[in-house]
Amino acid sequence: MSVANYSEDAIRTLDWKEHIRRRPGMYIGKLGDGSSRDDGVYILLKEVMDNSIDEFMMGFGKTIEIKIAENIISVRDFGRGIPLGKVKDVASKMNTGAKYDSKVFKKSVGLNGVGIKAVNALSAYFEVVAHRDGRMKRVTFSEGNIIDDDPEGVSTEKNGTYIAFTPDNTLFGNYRYIEDYVEALVKNYTYLNAGLTIKFNGNSYYSKNGLLDLLEEKMDSEGLYPIVHLKNGDIEVAITHGSGYGEDIYSFVNGQNTSQGGTHLQVFREAYVKTIREFFNKNFDPSDIRASIIAAVSIKVEEPVFESQTKTKLGSREMGPNGPSVSKYITDFLKKELDDYLHKHGETADILLKKIQENEKERKAISGIKKLARERAKKVSLHNRKLRDCRLHLDSKDDRKLETTLFITEGDSASGSITKSRDVNTQAVFSLKGKPLNCFGLTKKIVYENEEFNLLQAALNIEDDIENLRYHNVVIATDADVDGMHIRLLLLTFFLQFFPELVRRGHVYILQTPLFRVRNKQKTIYCYSEEEKHAAMNKLGKNPEITRFKGLGEISPDEFKYFIGADMRLEPVTISKDDPINQMLPYYMGKNTPERQEFIIENLKIELDLVED
């Protein structure tokens, strides 16, 4: 066995751009191809946007313009503009920026002087232009290396900063920006910064009512009572209850969507329970108070501490160096404002009390079943019959925690192939037995009585709290045939019925697997459509061998590693206000067979007419 020579020559010091390119996870979470909301290409945009948002928060520039065309992304704000003598340093010297001076950027998002440098290093092209008091300065880079450092010149434009960049496809692969994801990001910024206008590819976004507008946008049906909208100083909340299950709480810090929560979200959940208990003078179970809640909470913290560079989880415990604790600030606010509101709006208090009592009644009715279900899940886990787990989970400190994935497969053959070819560090496999139950219209009692649903819930670790989710990505991996599509629909019905926040938060995906394998002696190409198959046949030339995959079980482990590795194709499952769950599920999964039959016949007729034409 040879041993590497560990000497002075083995010690290397990387410069800033090389370190970012070698360890991008430390700076942007993960790379990805844009199919997931938290893929790196969106983090690059957010890092640039955050600087423009910080300018607005400090009172400079009421409009931001974003354009995305042919993978060139540009952001133009109308703030003060970067001081011209520091344009190059701000874009290319680590730990350089004005945000170390809390007087200049008091409640900013970006505090580490890293973000824009990460964008620069991870881009094939990066351009920054500052306009300031009739003068301008422009510098361009590639992979963090300077291409042009133009001298200062005369500017006829308004003050502000323009940044354009093209993510490096050698790192991000064949990436894409999904417009819906960017639009959702833009809307969040406007909701959290009332008075700000953001123009994205010609469309303007503006919010007058902050989190009230956000909650109305997120909800696919009316709440049980009018949205309670409260704000004062550095905190704003919006609260209502729906008729579904689970908790749906959106949290923000200094205009940043903290998708993984943090101290402020934890405190809000606890303070809300405490306030409601004291108002009704009843010691309700926390789960009964928060079940079906739909809420948003936003706070502004001086010098916030996040648990990662991507700023998705707040670690701060104080509102600022000389401020109160986050816990005291939020608790005192809810105790006064929410308590006052409920006293003044007795009809809302009555509806809320009735909802809590209904939750309590249902919880007690299934408490015995839950205990038996837990024991059953533990036994199955012990014998490893259903779940092949991975080594990392979301609570891990590893940079790759955002890559943690649970594949939900049908049958032993498919799960066997994925299990043998997966990355055991980040990819787990859950094997279904037969078709799941159509759970539409059923109560949560069925989740515990039905073995498949109970075990799946236990594998995801979401029985008591969605915040305990073990895997960042939940991927439905079924055959691309009628049976596979049916199982896919049944699983989606389960998630939308009982855990809709999993879908709303962007955790649920469909695995795209190839329909064809086209190969000759020199090359193999996997194709996901008829069009790709024909292109592969033309590329490989005369008489290539063509295989049609009928199911995942036919794909060998040696081949599966190509479909669940770096080039994995995931189709995100998304829902919006235009796709209300309370309308979709009854139509597609309810007992309205004649209506669905008529819809199928009508659309089949249209398809046949198109073919004939």
Residue 509's pLDDT band, with cuts at 50, 70 and 90, is very high
Structure-model confidence comparison of residues 163 and 184, the more confident one: 163
Can you tell me whether residue 121 is helix, strand or coil?
Answer: helix
pLDDT for the residue 329: 87
Q: In the predicted model, what is the mean pLDDT of residues 214-224?
A: 86
Strand segments, DSSP code E, in 150-292 are 153-154, 160-167, 197-200, 203-206, 228-232, 235-241, 248-253, 256-257
pLDDT for the residue 67: 95
Burial of 420 (0-12, 13-18, 19+ CB in 10 A): middle
pLDDT for the residue 225: 94
CA distance 118 to 210: 30
Percent of the chain with pLDDT over 70: 83
pLDDT for the residue 165: 96
For 264, residues 6+ apart whose C-beta sits below 8 A from its C-beta are 251, 253, 258, 297, 299, 301, 314, 326, 330
pLDDT in tens, 349-406: 999 999 999 999 888 888 777 777 777 666 665 445 678 899 988 877 776 787 899 9
pLDDT for the residue 266: 86
Residue 586's pLDDT band, with cuts at 50, 70 and 90, is low
Q: Give the predicted TM-score (pTM) of the model.
A: 0.72
Q: What is the mean pLDDT of the chain?
A: 83
Query: Nearest-5° angle of CA 406, CA 27, CA 123?
Result: 105
- Cα distances from 398 to residues 307, 308, 395, 499, 610, in angstroms, run 12, 11, 9, 26, 52
CA distance 76 to 63: 9
pLDDT in tens, 264-310: 888 899 999 999 999 999 999 998 999 889 999 998 877 766 665 55
Q: In the predicted model, what is the mean pLDDT of residues 326-335?
A: 89
Residue 455's pLDDT band, with cuts at 50, 70 and 90, is confident
- 16-206 against 367-513+552-579: fold identical: no
pLDDT of 23 higher than 60: yes
Domain 16-206 has CATH 3.30.565.10: yes
pLDDT of 106 higher than 70: no
pLDDT in tens, 55-88: 888 889 999 999 999 889 999 999 999 999 989 9
Q: In the predicted model, what is the mean pLDDT of residues 100-129?
A: 69
Where does 499-546 have alpha helices with state H?
Answer: 500-504, 530-540
CA distance 406 to 428: 5
Query: Which two tokens mark 529?
Result: 């459509």
For 57-71, give one letter per residue: b (16+ CB within 10 A) or e.
beebbebbbbebeeb
Residue 608's pLDDT band, with cuts at 50, 70 and 90, is very low
Choosing among 3.90.1150.10, 3.30.565.60, 3.40.50.670, 3.40.50.970, the CATH entry for 367-513+552-579 is: 3.40.50.670
**Domain-wise residue ranges, the chain:** 16-206, 211-365, 367-513+552-579, 516-548
CA distance 592 to 135: 67
pLDDT in tens, 511-544: 988 888 899 989 989 888 888 899 999 999 888 9
Query: Which two tokens mark 37?
Result: 């909301």
* CATH T-level fold of 211-365: Ribosomal Protein S5; domain 2 (3.30.230)
Percent of the chain with pLDDT over 90: 35
